[in-house]
Amino acid sequence: MTLTEPTIDLDVRHLSGTIGAEIRGLDVRQLDAETVAAIRQVWLERRVVFFPGQHLDPAEHLAFARHFGEPTEGHPVVPGVPGNPELFEIDYSATGNLYATYGDVASYERGIAWHTDVTFVKRPPLGSILRAVTVPDHGGDTLFADQVAAFAGLSPALQGFLADLTAIHDGTRQFQGILDHVGEGRWEGQGFTALEPVEHPVVRTHPETGERALFVNPGFTARIKELTLNESDALLAYLYAHSVRPEHTVRYHWGAGDIGFWDNRVTQHAVTGDFGDAPRVIQRVTLRGDEPR
């Protein structure tokens, strides 16, 4: 990875081997261009960065996001917060918006399995910025896995084999029921009523750093196009297990008001479903991405 040295010093604490950093000592409401550039470098290097105790309101959350890209609709299928379509809220409680309104999602059992956000569209998000609104006293952590490290941890022979493969991603299983319920989805300004499968390379090259990363996830990858279904299932099962090995991950315990910002091009994440009936509400802003290559 070739990154220029930051021109200002940030208070950065690494949280695991290759992924995750906490950045302290900033009020993210007041960022100048140099500080934004320095944050971006840490983010590219560490894949996910956290800013504890910022307590932003929705407008400040969006303003922070705009330093790093262009916000999309909060989610292609799940409608945004009323009056704020760029804010995607997840209320994990049994009576919360997502579970009460869209029954199918309750099958996630209050944890959301490993996934990369919205890979079932042609141009998946560049990144996501999460604001912890209500958090349990314990549990409800989010795990993030570094897909550059995961790819680097494979043998050269398997890396070479994977580099020529294409994966089909499909959001139907999780989201077609919700889409039928809401009637129309929207992404990059275009409305749709059905989710069409899309193709992405199994290994993508990061457009900013040039690093290669595994780009399959159990949330939305349906199969590998060039293989038989049995071969595809077996290879994906191996890659899913490998990509979230403990040495590729970081686990973050949220405090109310914390901000987390991940590079969706090179990470997977999963919420731990260990918070019982305790309330947990997050809001997320999603940044427009490019076509994986």
Regarding 284 and contact with ligand SIN (CB under 6 A), the answer is: yes
Q: Does the protein bind ligand SIN through residue 264 (CB under 6 A)?
A: no
Distance CA 129, CA 63 (A): 11
Site residue total, ligand SIN (CB under 6 A): 10
90 binds ligand SIN (CB under 6 A): yes
Can residue 222 be called a binding residue for ligand SIN (CB under 6 A)?
no
Does residue number 19 form part of the binding site for ligand SIN (CB under 6 A)? no
In the set 115, 123, 251, 253, the catalytic residue is 115
Q: Is 110 in the site for ligand SIN (CB under 6 A)?
A: no
Separation between Cα atoms, residue 139 and residue 141, nearest integer Å: 5
Q: Is residue 112 part of the contact set for ligand SIN (CB under 6 A)?
A: yes
Query: Does residue 142 belong to the site contacting ligand SIN (CB under 6 A)?
Result: yes
Active site residue 284: yes
Round to whole Å and give the CA distance between 131 and 2.
30
> What minimum distance in Å lies between the beta carbon of 87 and ligand SIN?
13
What sections of 167-286 are H helices per DSSP? 172-182, 229-243
Sorted by sequence, the CB contacts under 8 Å of residue 85 that are 6+ apart come out as: 73, 74, 79
Residues sharing a CB contact under 8 Å with residue 62, sequence separation 6 or more, in sequence order: 71, 84, 86, 87, 285
Report whether 76 contacts 169 (CB < 8 A): no
Instruction: List the beta bridge partners of residue 263.
Output: 127
For 26, residues 6+ apart whose C-beta sits below 8 A from its C-beta are: 10, 11, 35, 51
Whether 206 is catalytic is no
Minimum gap (Å) between residue 156 Cβ and ligand SIN: 33
Residue selected from 98, 179, 236, 271 as contacting ligand SIN according to rule CB under 6 A: 271
- What is the nearest approach in angstroms of ligand SIN to the Cβ of residue 276? 16
Using rule CB under 6 A, residue 200 touches ligand SIN: no
The smaller minimum CB distance to ligand SIN, of residues 114 and 151, is found at 114
- Paired sense of beta strands 127-134 and 259-263, if any: antiparallel
Residues that bind ligand SIN (CB under 6 A): 90, 112, 117, 128, 130, 142, 269, 271, 282, 284
Residues with a catalytic annotation lie at: 115, 117, 269, 284
